[in-house]
Amino acid sequence: MNMMSTQEIGISNLLASGMTLKQHRDAILERTQTTGYYNGLEKLEFRDSDPIGYEKLFSKLRGGLVHARETAKKIAASPIVEQEGELCFTLYNAAGDCILTSTGIIIHVGTMGAAIKYMIENNWEANPTINPGDMFTTNDCAIGNVHPCDIATIVPIFWAGKLIGWVGGVTHVIDTGAVTPGSMSTGQTQRFGDGYMITCRKTGVNDEPLRDWLHESQRSVRTPKYWILDEKTRIAGCHMIRELVEEVIRADGLEAYEKFSGEVIEEGRRGLMSRIKAMTLPGKYRKVSFVDVPFKHEDIQVSNAFAKLDSIMHSPVEMTIKPDGKWRLDFEGASRWGWHTFNAHQVAFTSGIWVMMSQTLVPTQRINDGAYFATEFHLPKGTWCNPDDRRTGHAYAWHFLVSGWAALWRGLSQSYFSRGYLEEVNAGNANTSNWLQGGGINQDGEIHAVNSFEASSCGTGACAVKDGLNHAAAIWNPEGDMGDIEIWEMAEPLLYLGRNVKSNSGGYGKYRGGCGFETLRMVWNAQDWTMFFMGNGYMNSDWGMMGGYPSATGYRFEAHKTGLKERIAIGDSLPLGGDIDPSAPDYERHLDATAVVKRDKQCMTTEDCYDNHDLYLNYLRGGPGFGDPIDREIKAIESDLNQKFLLPEYAQKVYGAVFTQDAKGVFSIDAAKTQARRLAMRKERLARALPTREWMKEERERIINKHASVQVQHMFATSFALSEKFTQEFKDFWTLPADWQLLEEELGVPTYGSKHRMDLSLMPDVKTVVQVEE
């Protein structure tokens, strides 16, 4: 007989204080709000009374987190985790605030914290209950995850029956069972196509994954072997860290651990303010970035007519550094979310910036939620970085996160430059693409999906004292590694026909941006294979700094019906190496004349079929430049020419270099002639220029006449619709008539979603966690 109880399930006293988790968290927020110190901790008693004990505790925990990451990643088979290190472990206090994190993708300082807070706010302690040995799995982008392929396992930590914290582990899986293969796919336009979505689900008890979860999850993705080994990686890391915490408490006592877990967050808050004061300069910094969303093209195939339009994503930022060392990041004016997968949850933004800041402003081990508490975020509701509709897709949120943050990097770099810390200046970062993704039946005869993480080694921005690094890093992973060819060839049915530095891809400048690289891949031994491109093409998402140019934009090269099978058989010439100058292409000379080649700027495509011996060029972008190019040292230009980092035509046109090339192809620059040429270039610049205010009159006329492409107007229209402030500032700047307006409905493009939207918070029994000013 089924006996039902009238008692609400799971009423517990997890904290042994009589408070629920929500009451506990609310009290911390209240004390933080009232006092200005995290949890009211004006005095750091433990740190100040026993600094050595405090540091020992810090070192034990931090070392243990890093150790757990390094050990656990060996369990994974996915090259994304095992080779690229796309995993991270983070320790939280009972309220879900981050205490410490491991190395790796530090963006998850806050994303797993957001999931814990969601469980707290929605009373998970009553149902489904939180017990020792439980495991929760989440990847829900509507509550804080960056993109669905970041799967997090969260384990509560108890001591003597009391919940004292949480540990979370995240790995970037190869496939999420989205509409198209690959971890960050395009083609879907909504959450419902983003793949398997898990909302803080209890997936394990007594340290064992539940069987229904194991069965359901593995068949929900294309790559079950990688999936399950990733899961084991996360569980092993979490359990190692839980044991570490137990060991620490046994040695140092619960009181010390609990004091530490609060004080270290307050210390992190003060640490950020102190770094800001030590390195930057108070004031207002305004930067902006954009990225293209070219969905009208025939190679973008989506299931919704309303998504077929070209648009531009817009991210203006006003960064205010205050005299007390706090700062405010205000994104007023950002464009609306869209029917694509490039939207981002507010936490992806607020948590994600620390992966970048740890490479510049706070290059310390003490990254935790303290930095969040020292920062004011204004992310207007309805924008791409804080959507107000529960249908939004997020699979490739990075398409614009990387661009939005590049603007912050330029703002900070202005402050470093003005203060004299030239060594810290970075003109920005590459748009970390292309993303080679696809799937089908691989060389082992199995259903498979691929996402090449070569993008973790793009060119870096130029510094104020040196060039950017070639093919070195990604903004989202400070430990960028392009991976070994041999490993990628095991993971993907794609042979390498070339892997070269990408010529001319770094932004010009006195110091140039780092060059990206390119790999030419030939499909081999696959069946029913598909691939697609994902990156920027029509636009740059980064700018240069102080006279430096943006890096080169992207383009795509793919070739079908290549005839390479026959050419290989008869020993004929093959396309090998780099696509050095796409204006004078060489690959085509080694393909059949009937080959079908696509060479264009449509760098966003959806899943398309590739036969064996078809070609795909994976071009990883360069970084932006710094300073006027005609200030560049002669020897540096000569070296770039001789290493094929720079095409001769642009050495002449941009750098003013006058050179000769000997019989062996070695370039030599004539310093005197170059100097003379540069003087002439200064005059030519002024001859073709106008006073800015004169040019503004012409541009104003173009605005009055609405003379601009639809995508440009669409971007402005969505920003105007969300922000009166941005609209008024735009109209004031161009002195437009009071009745001038620009509406989406006048553009002749689909307007689905422009007026009628429903936020997740409107669903019954859902309490969303808001961590920004909206």
Partner 1 sequence: MSYTNEQVSHLVEGTLDWETTFRMLSMPKDNSRFEQYVAALQAKVRFKDRIVLPLAPHMYIVQSAKTKQWLIKCDCGHEFCDYKENWKLHAAIYVRDTEEAMTEVYPKLMAADTQWQVYREYYCPTCGTLHDVEAPTPWYPVIHDFEPDIEAFYKEWVNLPVPERAD
Site for partner 1 in 527-586 (CB under 8 A): 537-540, 543-550, 552-555, 581-583
- Report d(CA 766, CA 695) in Å as an integer: 52
To partner 1, the closest distance from the beta carbon of 157 in angstroms equals 34
> Is 647:581 a contact under the CB 8 Å cutoff?
yes
Q: Which residues, numbered 27-66, are part of the site for partner 1 (CB under 8 A)?
A: none
Among 349, 508, 517, 610, binds partner 1 (CB under 8 A): 508
Residues 6+ apart with CB under 8 A from 427: 409, 410, 413, 461, 462, 463, 468, 507, 509, 513, 542, 543, 544, 545, 548, 623, 624, 625, 626
To partner 1, the closest distance from the beta carbon of 657 in angstroms equals 14
Q: Does 699 bind partner 1 (CB under 8 A)?
A: yes
Q: Does 628 bind partner 1 (CB under 8 A)?
A: yes
Among 10, 224, 283, 563, binds partner 1 (CB under 8 A): 283
To partner 1, the closest distance from the beta carbon of 678 in angstroms equals 10
- Specify the pairing of strand 527-532 against strand 659-661: unpaired
- Report d(CA 364, CA 271) in Å as an integer: 10
Site track 319-348 with partner 1 (rule: CB under 8 A), x = hit = --x-x-------------------------
- Report d(CA 616, CA 596) in Å as an integer: 12
Q: Which residues, numbered 152-171, are part of the site for partner 1 (CB under 8 A)?
A: none
**Sign, CA torsion 668/674/677/683:** positive
Q: Does 733 bind partner 1 (CB under 8 A)?
A: yes
To partner 1, the closest distance from the beta carbon of 190 in angstroms equals 25
CA 445, distance to chain mean position in Å, is 33
> Is 644:501 a contact under the CB 8 Å cutoff?
yes
Q: Does 225 bind partner 1 (CB under 8 A)?
A: no
> CA separation (Å) from 441 to 179, 467, 492, 528?
16, 43, 10, 6
Give strand pairing partners of 293.
311
Nearer to partner 1, 468 or 548 (CB): 548
Residue with tokens 């107007």: 713
In eight-state DSSP terms, residue 586 is: -
Helix or strand (DSSP H, E) at 117: helix 108-121
Among 56, 232, 599, 673, binds partner 1 (CB under 8 A): 599
Among 29, 210, 281, 447, binds partner 1 (CB under 8 A): 281
To partner 1, the closest distance from the beta carbon of 728 in angstroms equals 12
Q: Which residues, numbered 172-211, are part of the site for partner 1 (CB under 8 A)?
A: none
Q: Does 664 bind partner 1 (CB under 8 A)?
A: no
Q: Which residues, numbered 364-403, are part of the site for partner 1 (CB under 8 A)?
A: none
Nearer to partner 1, 181 or 554 (CB): 554
> CA separation (Å) from 397 to 210, 246, 375, 392, 418?
30, 37, 22, 11, 33
Q: Does 735 bind partner 1 (CB under 8 A)?
A: no
Question: What would the two tokens of residue 405 be?
Answer: 């943050």
Among 57, 152, 464, 604, binds partner 1 (CB under 8 A): 464
Nearer to partner 1, 235 or 630 (CB): 630
Residue with tokens 């790999």: 519
Q: Does 290 bind partner 1 (CB under 8 A)?
A: yes
**Window of 17-25, 172-180, 214-222, 687-695 that interacts with partner 1 by CB under 8 A:** 687-695
To partner 1, the closest distance from the beta carbon of 500 in angstroms equals 15
Among 56, 60, 390, 466, binds partner 1 (CB under 8 A): 466
- Report d(CA 226, CA 242) in Å as an integer: 24
Among 241, 523, 615, 647, binds partner 1 (CB under 8 A): 647
**Window of 45-53, 99-107, 703-711, 765-773 that interacts with partner 1 by CB under 8 A:** 703-711
Residues 6+ apart with CB under 8 A from 630: 655, 656, 678, 681, 682
